[in-house]
């Protein structure tokens, strides 16, 4: 059988009657044993990730960066990779690289 839901008004009346008789009541009508400050543990806010921007890097097969281009210049980066391939300098490819915005001031964008 299911239990009848508690009527908060009746519970409150019972607690007030007990308090009027001088009987100590713990937790009040809700039956809480802990105070609100104890039940809520403060959590640190997670650190926000630094803002980044995307640039195109021309890399060799070892993954070493040969040259870097700004995001809108992808066609130039691909052309540079093709020129290095044609020039006999080995196989090169273009990949996206994320770099932090501002702060350090050491940007290697051409």
Q: Give the number of other CB atoms < 10 A from CB of residue 55.
A: 22
Would you say 98 and 56 are in contact if contact means Cβ atoms under 8 Å apart?
Answer: no
Same domain, 71 and 95: yes
CA 58, CA 7: separation in Å to the nearest integer? 71
Q: In degrees, to the nearest 5, what angle opens at C-alpha 25 toward C-alphas 24 and 28? A: 150
69-105: burial string, b at 16+ Cβ within 10 Å, e else: beeebeebbbebbeebeeeeeeebebeeeeeeeeeee
Domain of 66 in residue numbering reads as 52-100
Same domain (yes/no): 56, 92: yes
- Residue 105 sits at φ, ψ, to 5 deg, of 75, 5
Structure tokens at 103: 């702060």
Q: Along the 110 residues of the chain, how does pLDDT read in single tens digits?
A: 567 777 888 888 888 888 888 888 876 545 555 556 555 677 788 888 889 999 999 999 998 999 999 999 999 999 999 999 898 888 999 999 999 987 654 555 55
* pLDDT on residue 33: 53
| Residues shown for the chain | 110
Residue 36 pLDDT: 60
Q: What is the pLDDT of residue 3?
A: 73
Residue 107 located in a structural domain: no
**According to the model, what pLDDT value does residue 55 have?**
95
User: What per-residue confidence (pLDDT) applies to 108?
Assistant: 54
Residue 57 shares a structural domain with residue 32 = no
Q: Does residue 1 lie in a domain region?
A: no
- What's the predicted TM-score (pTM) here? 0.50
> Does one domain contain both 64 and 30?
no
């Amino acid at each position: 059988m299911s239990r009848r839901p508690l009527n908060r008004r009746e519970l409150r009346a019972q607690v007030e009657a007990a308090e009027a008789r001088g009987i100590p009541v713990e937790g009040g009508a809700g039956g809480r044993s802990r105070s609100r400050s104890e039940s809520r543990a403060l959590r640190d806010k997670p650190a926000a990730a630094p803002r980044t921007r995307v640039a195109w890097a021309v890399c060799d097969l070892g993954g070493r960066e040969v040259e870097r281009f700004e995001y809108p210049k992808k066609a130039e980066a691909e052309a540079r990779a093709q020129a290095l391939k044609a020039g006999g300098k080995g196989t090169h490819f273009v990949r996206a690289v994320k770099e932090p915005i501002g702060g350090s001031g050491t940007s290697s964008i051409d």
